[in-house]
Amino acid sequence: MTRTARFTLDPAFTVGDVSPRLFGSFVEHLGRCVYTGIFEPGHPAADESGLRTDVLELIRELGVTAVRYPGGNFVSGYKWEDGVGPAEQRPRRLDLAWRSTETNRFGLSEYIGFVKKIGPQAEPMLAVNLGTRGVAEALELQEYANHPAGTELADRRVAHGDKDPFGIRLWCLGNEMDGPWQTGHKTAHEYGRLAAETARAMRQIDPSVELVACGSSNQSMPTFAAWEATVLQEAYEAVDYISLHAYYEETEGDRDSFLASAVDMESFIENVVATCDHVGARLKSPKRINLSFDEWNVWYMSRFQEESEANPLEWPEAPRLLEDNYSVTDAVVFGSLLIALLRHADRVTVACLAQLVNVIAPIMTEPGGAAWRQTTFFPFAQASRYGRGQVLDVRVESPTYDTAKYGAIALLHATAVRDPQSGAVTVFAVNRSQTKALPLEVSLHGLDVTELVEHSALSDADPEARNTLDEPDRVTPHPAEGTSLRAGVLEAVLEPMSWNVIRLA
């Protein structure tokens, strides 16, 4: 096979429109995501609400849209009432999920204020506790948050200083209820019934809410697919989305498989779509369930498990947990996961990078000190900025390489997005080769593009290079050399192990 990778783009062949919600993120009461992450009263950059304005600036640059909150595993033991009203009167609680003490200084009103300050592109995505709580508490939270006034709960919100309803449209019905680690873990049948009853009740308050049922915590769960089928058998007509969660990490000596992690992500998406559509067919329903990939990232979970077993936490406040420092290699894999989401934009219409600040995050902070961008910040920011419009159908012809986990895999992983207003096209591409540059040739049919605006690459001679407090700008995207656009053909060379953004106008 030729060593050049190729594909053809044609506006007649599309996957679907990119939902803005594909560029969501996730804020959980876990480690320092909230406290000394987004919220640090007394910090030199804190505003009147205690929000760090330096972090807000980075979040806006990142291009985050939907913000999922407050968990995550945390939500399955959370009492929403603890996080409303005067902060000084809020109770301190034990958080079983992360063996920490929760002060509740940051709660629902602060979260809504935070989302508003990100900007008009951001919207709340609120999870209800279906672990230790149920239908009644979900309804009470919905009424407190969204009802204008005139009831005890709505008037309580007004009395707490929030005259206007929060207008939350997007709700998660619990979190990872298939997981034995989850407080209040349930069988698929138990959860499916509870999710369906909660959904139907919430729609009695507001038929327009959009509801996400819990799917499998990952594709390797022993109940995978059977869980989705059972839950949707109960809840298909009552919900709009089913969730997917997936994290990837490099295992020692197998970087080649790590670079192909998106193969698993794409398989996961396609298997869940097949399961959803099978249930819909059995129910003879014209409705289509979409996917909310509301937790995804590179996460070195094995390190966390080893550390937590060696040093169990004794209920600290906002401990340093899951603060992975990401390398260039991690960022390339991360970019490939973004490509996987875009390639399935017809069905993945919500996605949340887990998480936003400090905890397996693209943004890091020091208490009282600086905030900086991790290597993974750049692929997300570029995809959010330039990956809006219609995803074009990309069928890659590429040289392959062998992986221990997935067999022979294409070196090129790519997608392309066209802005229907301007006609601009952006190609997102990853070269999975650790050692060799990859020539790329793209034929452009029916696309009115004549100008090469930019070819940006994220790569480094040191695959372990990373950004730190001492060197916050060690890794940034750089212009790639030798890219050309002539007579409807784009030619480029993708550097070894690189994330690439090629913009055409």
Tens-digit pLDDT profile for the chain (505 aa)?
459 999 999 999 999 999 999 999 999 999 999 999 999 999 999 999 999 999 999 999 999 999 999 999 999 999 999 999 999 999 999 999 999 999 999 999 999 999 999 999 999 999 999 999 999 999 999 999 999 999 999 999 999 999 999 999 999 999 999 999 999 999 999 999 999 999 999 999 999 999 999 999 999 999 999 999 999 999 999 999 999 999 999 999 999 999 999 999 999 999 999 999 999 999 999 999 999 999 999 999 888 888 888 888 889 999 999 999 999 999 999 999 999 999 999 999 999 999 999 999 999 999 999 999 999 999 999 999 999 999 999 999 999 999 999 999 999 999 999 999 999 999 999 999 999 999 999 999 999 999 999 999 999 999 999 999 999 999 999 999 999 999 999 999 999 999 999 999 9
3-state secondary structure of 93: strand
Residue owning tokens 């409807």? 488
237 has catalytic annotation? no
CA distances from 128 to 333, 394, 398, 485 (A): 31, 38, 45, 50
Distance CA 418, CA 415 (A): 10
Question: Helices 108-118 and 53-62 meet at what angle, rounded to 10?
Answer: 60
Tokens of 336: 């490939």
Radius of gyration of the chain (CA): 23
DSSP state of 173: E
Alpha helices in 206-260 (DSSP H): 226-235, 255-259
State the architecture of 19-386 in CATH terms.
Alpha-Beta Barrel (3.20)
Which residue type occupies 86? Answer: P
Tell me if 175 sits within 8 A of 72, measured CB to CB: yes
CB atoms within 10 A of CB 93: 16
Output the CA torsion 147→84→33→92 (10° steps).
-150
Distance CA 472, CA 466 (A): 8
Q: What pLDDT score does 1 carry?
A: 44
110 has catalytic annotation? no
Q: What pLDDT score does 254 carry?
A: 97
Distance CA 112, CA 125 (A): 10
Q: What pLDDT score does 15 carry?
A: 98
One of 123, 137, 176, 228 is an active-site residue; which one?
176
Q: In sequence order, what are the residues at sequence separation of 6 or more whose Cβ sits closer than 8 angstroms to the Cβ of residue 457?
A: 477, 478, 479, 480, 494, 495, 498, 499, 500
Tokens of 78: 């959370």
Q: How buried is 87 (Cβ within 10 angstroms: 0-12 exposed, 13-18 middle, 19+ buried)?
A: middle
CA distances from 376 to 156, 370, 383, 460 (A): 41, 18, 11, 14
Give the angle 116-122-124 at the CA atoms, nearest 5°.
80
pTM of the model: 0.97
Topology of domain 5-10+393-504, CATH = Immunoglobulin-like (2.60.40)
Tokens of 164: 């206007």
One of 81, 228, 295, 495 is an active-site residue; which one?
295
Q: In sequence order, what are the residues at sequence separation of 6 or more whose Cβ sits closer than 8 angstroms to the Cβ of residue 207?
A: none
What phi-psi label fits residue 173: left (phi over 0), alpha (psi between -120 and 50 degrees) or beta? Answer: beta
242: nearest Cα among 205, 196, 297, 180? 196
Distance CA 133, CA 18 (A): 35
CA distances from 134 to 76, 129, 191 (A): 10, 7, 10
Q: Sign of torsion, CA 136 140 143 149?
A: positive
Chain centre distance of CA 271:
19
Give me the residue spans of the domains in the chain. Answer: 5-10+393-504, 19-386
Count of alpha carbons within 13 angstroms of residue 104, beta-carbon side: 19
**Of all helices (H) and strands (E), which one includes residue 295?**
strand 290-298
CA distances from 326 to 37, 338, 361, 465 (A): 17, 16, 9, 8
Residue owning tokens 């080649």? 256
